[in-house]
Amino acid sequence: MASTYSTLLAFIMAALFISGGAAHATGPEVERPKKPADPLIGPPFVTCKAWVIADGHTGEILAGGNEDEQRNPASITKIMTALVVLKLAEESPDVWEETITFSERADKTVGSSCRLNAGESLPVKELLYGLMLPSGNDASVAIAEHFGPRLAMENENGYDAFIRTMCETAKQLGMERTSYVNPHGLTHETHLTTAADMVKLTCEAMKYERFRDTVATRNHSTIVNTPEGEDRTVSWTNTNRLLAQEGYLGVKTGTTTAAGACLVSCAERNEKRLVMVVLGSTSSDARYVDARNLYRWIWKEIAAESQDE
């Protein structure tokens, strides 16, 4: 027993000696040089993975970071969903008075909801609020199912036709790095966009008065018709917190695990309109901090340029 103990002790001492010798041989870890001091000029530090600021009228990009990097867009997808309807209504204004009835598929769509049930119905012009304010995934499916059949080619499913039209509209707008596989933005590996592409989409959508009015609305209530022939009131609150402050005009929030917290916004100051896209912020709160800090910086830059002219 004593021999075994001695052998074990000798083994431990040898191991300690070897490890200590190795540590002595390699020496202390070399201290890495410090990074440069933070610059005092340029845009603020942000948590988002990509961002861009553009002229709201011309779409000209004024500043950005990783703006051409493809990322999951989450619910800012719904700007395109709305644009497809806006363009259909541009050709036939009666579109806004059409009635959309929710299917089981729409009702059971997961995620954010406008809280309508299968069999309930309302006019298209009202459902646009349900799409954009509470970010109704169910509303996006109901819209795609309603309008898809009139967009379908021979033997094409109506829902799929709506998605194809979203993709075709993106190409027409020059959104070369954007692809859609659904109308709501739930995560899919090929459902992607970039901050720069979202500027093109948003500037186009903001040309439509109905879209501008809808995304600038903080709260909206409407009457829904039930399958039993009764009416009930549904109220929606806009998810965009920036609308609580003067100067902000909308547009759309979006959040999934894959996308992070996203925000497309529009703001005006001194008759200058800007569109900003923030993708992949670390939290819902962070996306608003990111956006407000970027706005403060760019407004100062614009004011400084005006003084120099």
Residues labelled catalytic: 75, 78, 135
| CB distance 197 to 172 below 8 Å | no
Tell me the sheet residues that pair with 225. 121, 231
Residue at 78: amino acid letter: K
* Cα–Cα distance, 135 to 75 (Å, whole number): 7
Q: What is the DSSP string of 47-63?
A: S-SEEEEEETTT--EEE
Residues 6 or more apart whose Cβ sits within 8 Å of residue 256? 72, 74, 75, 185, 186, 187
Strands 61-65 and 99-101, by their bridges, are unpaired
Task: Please give the structure tokens belonging to residue 270.
Answer: 């001194």
Please, what is the Cα angle at 124 between 199 and 203, to 5 degrees? 10
| CB distance 76 to 281 below 8 Å | no
Q: What is the DSSP string of 4-48?
A: HHHHHHHHHHHHHHHHHHHHHHH-SPPPPPPPPPPPSSSSPP-S-
Task: Please give the structure tokens belonging to residue 84.
Answer: 């497809």
